[in-house]
Structure 1
Amino acid sequence: MAGPLQKFYLVEQLRHERERLQQENAHLWREVEGRFSTQKLLGNSLPMQRLVRVIDQIRDSSVDVLITGENGTGKELVAKAIHFNSPRARQPFVAINCAAIPETLIESELFGISKGTATGVDARMGKFEQANKGTLFLDEIGDLGMRAQAKVLRVLQERAVEPVGERMTIPLDIRILAATNKNLEAEIKAGRFRDDLYYRLKVVHVHTPALREIPADIPLLANYFLDQYGKRMDKPAKKLSAGAMRRLMEYSWPGNIRQLENEMKRLVVMVRGTTINEDALEEGIRCPPQINGGPEDLQGRSLPQAVAELEQRMIRETLAACRFNQVQTAKRLGLSRQGLIKKIKRHNIQV
């Protein structure tokens, strides 16, 4: 009897252990999905509400998505929110930064490589195959070379990948999320990006706004980062004075949300008291460089001349900030696209 009884207890022990692991796994998945919920995309501004609404609209689908926005605006966080709020949430999420991989290695990284393709080379699974059944996030897709672009396009068309040095294709069930800080339409005109790949990726387009475009969200974000890093570092709760908050909202934030997060982290460490005043802010934020074009620069000019110069400078600077995307430039300047085009012609601005 000892043998069967011992086997029974062993089976029961294994069953309980399996149930425990299943419960733990389910708990961890709930934690991950909660961490990347759209509720974590903080912001009450219209651009952020629009962004969250698009993610919610596509949550039941697996369509490919193109994410655009400046560096530091949270494009990877948006990609993870899309993945973890989709039917593929419990399948792999694989990310690759296309700008960080040398052009000589990018194809083997993306598509894999078979053993013996070169001396001493072992077989390696590429990112496309690793992401099978799940999502592949192609970050900085605008930096991909033309040869690799052609091969990525073929994979997207055929939903199958052929590793380097291999003749057989591997079928894929995969979703593609691509992100870039470049104006891909301008890159297409310059001959640096394939238009067919652009339209293949851009089934749905979402844009992550620059922080200067959503100043009303700065208090919410700043207080969130102060609270998070205060808890993480076991520091007393801190708050920003009215003057310090005003400085944050007036600053242009070239590094966007990433820069704001790092500044709040620094303040949690450096400020001893519980109130953060203006003088505690980084000098570049507290005293930003003055932009040329103040009253002293307009002396000796008539009012029409001064207005024309200011208008021309604003259009040039906004075009550059928007990477010469005329729709975005017009929106930021409060103009119609046709109105912007007329002013560009009037001021003879080269685009």
Structure 2
Amino acid sequence: MEETKDVRLALYETIMNLVDAGIHAIDEEGRTMIYNQKMRDIERMDSREVLHKKLEDVFRFRSSEESTLLKALKTGEESHLVKQTYFNNKGREITSVNHTYPFYYKEKLMGAVEIAEDITKIERLIRRNHEPHTGYTFHHIIGKSKAVSEVIEFAKRAARTSSYVLIIGETGTGKELFAQSIHYESERSRGPFITQNCAALPDNLIESILFGTKKGAFTGAVDRAGLFEQADGGTLLLDEINALNIHLQAKLLRVLQEKKVKRIGGTQEKPVDVRVIATMNETPYEAIANHRLRKDLYYRLGVVTLLIPPLRDRLEDLPLLTRHFIQKYNTLFQMNVRGITPEVLTFFHSYRWPGNIRELEHIIEAAMNVMLDEDMIELRHLPMQYRQSGHYTPAAEKSPLLKDRLFEYEKQCILEALEANGSNISKAAEQLGLSRQSLQYRMKRLGI
């Protein structure tokens, strides 16, 4: 009999720790009785810090808020889908949506139990999207090479309009810097600038963040504006658009075309005035061929297309960029580094820079971290992985230019559309999501 009881207890504890929801129960004195694994994960705490301790001795609540658990214990009433923000014993902020129930035994109130869903990351994301940006403009873009100067000039022209922009470039080339510059030098500069990395969150979460939710649409759903509504009158930057699920790309395309958004679970469409700037770290040709980008979405977003050159194609900007990052970390580290030795400069010119400008900054930061009284960055100061022979790869071997590949792919898409529609320009334009005038302009530019 005793063995059966132990087995049941072990089974009960196993189930409690396997449930994908936080479970926290207190007794009639407010002391923790049950604290499962998911709740420990949510609150980043060990069971020894919580079990058998009074709730108010462990957690801190804002003066305007009361613990939903203690409220259930005090009133004997249950509550559902209540959002609560509080702090653990290390001061870490936690936000959860809770279902809370009083616990009765033989008609006597013996405690309360709470089932919690963690929304801390979502709350932080929403809060971060509302934080003011530093307001980068074109004069913050460092470089005087022809490759980057042409892109800056083209981007400045784009800042005069509200057309959608597609920025293409490898990781670390500064795509967001160009996006911010376009926004803050446009008529929308007084409006919000909101960013979202499409690869950072799962599909079900990114959809609700983009388009918003209607209360009751799903468990825990509340009335919340999506990023399109939040960016109304301003700019929405969608980073890594090719990482967005193809199904969501179709919904995004409809919003771009109709300029209206409907929340998940809602029935009404709300007009929005948002300029969308999207970025990609691969060519549209590759993304479309590998089913990571809808062809019609590419044509809708690519009204203005900027191709950000990789660092290996603008090596004449290396001295300017190097000087800028050294000055930056001189200020941060209170150092007085004057520059780099000729040997380091030679290495910089021979290196392929797969991480581009971001990688250059990281190398300089790492080198300055190990310097003592030296005033010049030497090869021995560079991180070990860069001092290994395998990283001294000549920069002479270059792949076909991105702009040439884009040119050929755009020409191919237009020719296919014309062939499919019997050379009818109006029908081909409709299939491609373009106006007749825009298609004629592109045909002329491409020599079709």
**1:130: how far off?**
0.8
Q: What is the count of residue pairs matched by the alignment?
A: 275
2:286 counterpart (186, 190, 203) = 186
Conserved 8 A contact 2:196-2:237: yes
Say if 2:261 is the partner of 1:125: no
Conserved 8 A contact 1:45-1:217: yes
Structure exhibiting the larger radius of gyration computed from Cα positions: 2
1:155-176 CA-to-partner distances (Å, cap 9, x unmatched) read: 0001010000001011111100
The residue that corresponds to 1:163 in the other structure is 263
**How far apart, CA to CA, are the structure 1 residues paired with 2:312 and 2:353?**
6
1:274 counterpart (375, 379, 392) = 375
The residue that corresponds to 2:412 in the other structure is none
**How far apart, CA to CA, are the structure 1 residues paired with 2:359 and 2:391?**
20
Task: Give 1 or 2: higher strand fraction.
Answer: 2
The residue that corresponds to 1:318 in the other structure is 399
SS in 2 for 1:167: coil
SS in 1 for 2:204: coil
**How far apart, CA to CA, are the structure 1 residues paired with 2:187 and 2:391?**
50
Call closer, same or farther: CA 1:239–1:89 in 2, change over 3 Å: same
SS in 1 for 2:305: strand
| TM-score (ref. length: structure 1) | 0.73
2:297 counterpart (178, 197, 201) = 197
The residue that corresponds to 2:46 in the other structure is none
**How far apart, CA to CA, are the structure 2 residues paired with 1:234 and 1:203?**
45
Call closer, same or farther: CA 1:81–1:329 in 2, change over 3 Å: closer
Conserved 8 A contact 2:307-2:403: no
Task: Give 1 or 2: higher helix fraction.
Answer: 1
Amino acid at match of 1:269: N
- Map residues 1-351 of structure 1 onto 2, 5 A cutoff: 32-33=134-135, 36-272=136-372, 273-289=374-390, 318=399, 327-328=404-405
The residue that corresponds to 1:18 in the other structure is none
**1:184: how far off?**
1.6
Amino acid at match of 2:232: N
Q: Sequence identity of aligned pairs in percent?
A: 36
The residue that corresponds to 1:5 in the other structure is none
Call closer, same or farther: CA 1:281–1:290 in 2, change over 3 Å: closer
Conserved 8 A contact 1:239-1:276: yes
**How far apart, CA to CA, are the structure 1 residues paired with 2:255 and 2:407?**
36
**1:224: how far off?**
0.5
What stretches of structure 2 of length at least 5 have no aligned partner?
Answer: 1-131, 409-448
1:285-325 CA-to-partner distances (Å, cap 9, x unmatched) read: 33441789x9xxxxxxxxxxxxxxxx9xx6xx726xx7xx5
**How far apart, CA to CA, are the structure 2 residues paired with 1:187 and 1:280?**
39
Conserved 8 A contact 2:162-2:275: yes
**How far apart, CA to CA, are the structure 2 residues paired with 1:291 and 1:329?**
30
Call closer, same or farther: CA 1:52–1:220 in 2, change over 3 Å: same
**How far apart, CA to CA, are the structure 2 residues paired with 1:38 and 1:148?**
32
What stretches of structure 1 of length at least 5 have no aligned partner?
Answer: 1-28, 295-310, 332-351
Amino acid at match of 1:327: D
**1:276: how far off?**
1.5
Conserved 8 A contact 1:318-1:329: no
Conserved 8 A contact 1:251-1:285: no
**How far apart, CA to CA, are the structure 1 residues paired with 2:287 and 2:174?**
22
1:305-350 CA-to-partner distances (Å, cap 9, x unmatched) read: xxxxxx9xx6xx726xx7xx5825999xxxxxxxxxxxxxxxxxxx
Call closer, same or farther: CA 1:130–1:219 in 2, change over 3 Å: same
Call closer, same or farther: CA 1:330–1:83 in 2, change over 3 Å: closer
1:111-154 CA-to-partner distances (Å, cap 9, x unmatched) read: 00011111222122111111110000000001111110010000
| TM-score (ref. length: structure 2) | 0.58
The residue that corresponds to 2:10 in the other structure is none
**How far apart, CA to CA, are the structure 2 residues paired with 1:101 and 1:282?**
32
